[in-house]
Amino acid sequence: MVSFIRRPSMSTLNVSNISDGTDTVATGYVVNGSAKAWGNLNGSGTPAFRDSFNYSSVVDNGTGDFTHNFTSNMANANYSLTATGTSSYAFWSVADNTGNTLAGSIKIRAYTSNVALADSQLIFSTIHGDLA
């Protein structure tokens, strides 16, 4: 006989603290400290995400220049982005063309040590901040 287990529907657990029996932390530490988006992008050949969370798409703007679009936007542009990748790349710019971050997307550029835009096989990004 074959039986099926129904996956429980999503629900909300409203708690102030989380404990493992020894240590207790306020739920706010977990919510605020979680990465709101992350991605592992192959920026060479035909660029595509290897894996990611909370990105809807990536736009290949040109050599070494990629816009990451959020699915669930950030509340404002005052979030924090960490971007890195292949070790031979010396500098990563994280802004739009006007030098600002945007609530709905982030632009990541990969530069060589000669400050020239270049494609990279590995482009990692992590976003922390408040969601809309």
Partner 1 sequence: MIAHLWDRLAEAKSRLAPVQSKYRVLFENPADPDAPAAVLVPDPNWMAAALAGGVLPPIDTYQRDRTVADGQPKEHPYAEPIGPMTEEEAVEYLVMKDIDPQVWRDYEGNRCIMKIVPVELIPTDRSFRNAWKINQEMEMAA
- List the beta bridge partners of residue 126: 38, 82
Provide the 8-state DSSP code for 131: B
119 is a site residue for partner 1 (CB under 8 A)? yes
Phi, psi of 33 (to 5 degrees): -85, -10
Based on CB atoms, which residue is closest to partner 1, 22 or 97? 97
Query: Cα dihedral sign for 91, 112, 69, 32?
Result: negative
Based on CB atoms, which residue is closest to partner 1, 60 or 94? 60
Q: Write out the binding residues for partner 1, residues 19-58 only, by CB under 8 A.
A: 36, 44-49, 51-58
Amino acid in the structure at residue 16: S
59 is a site residue for partner 1 (CB under 8 A)? yes
- Please choose, from the candidates 30, 76, 36, 77, the residue with its C-alpha nearest in 3D space to the C-alpha of residue 53: 36
62 is a site residue for partner 1 (CB under 8 A)? yes
Whole-angstrom Cα distance, residue 19 to residue 21? 5
Provide the 8-state DSSP code for 27: H
109 is a site residue for partner 1 (CB under 8 A)? no
18 is a site residue for partner 1 (CB under 8 A)? no
Q: Write out the binding residues for partner 1, residues 77-96 only, by CB under 8 A.
A: 77
| Piece in contact with partner 1 (CB under 8 A), picked from 17-25, 68-76, 84-92, 121-129 | 68-76
Residues in contact with partner 1 by the rule CB under 8 A: 7, 10, 12, 36, 44-49, 51-63, 69, 71-73, 75-77, 103, 105, 119, 131-132
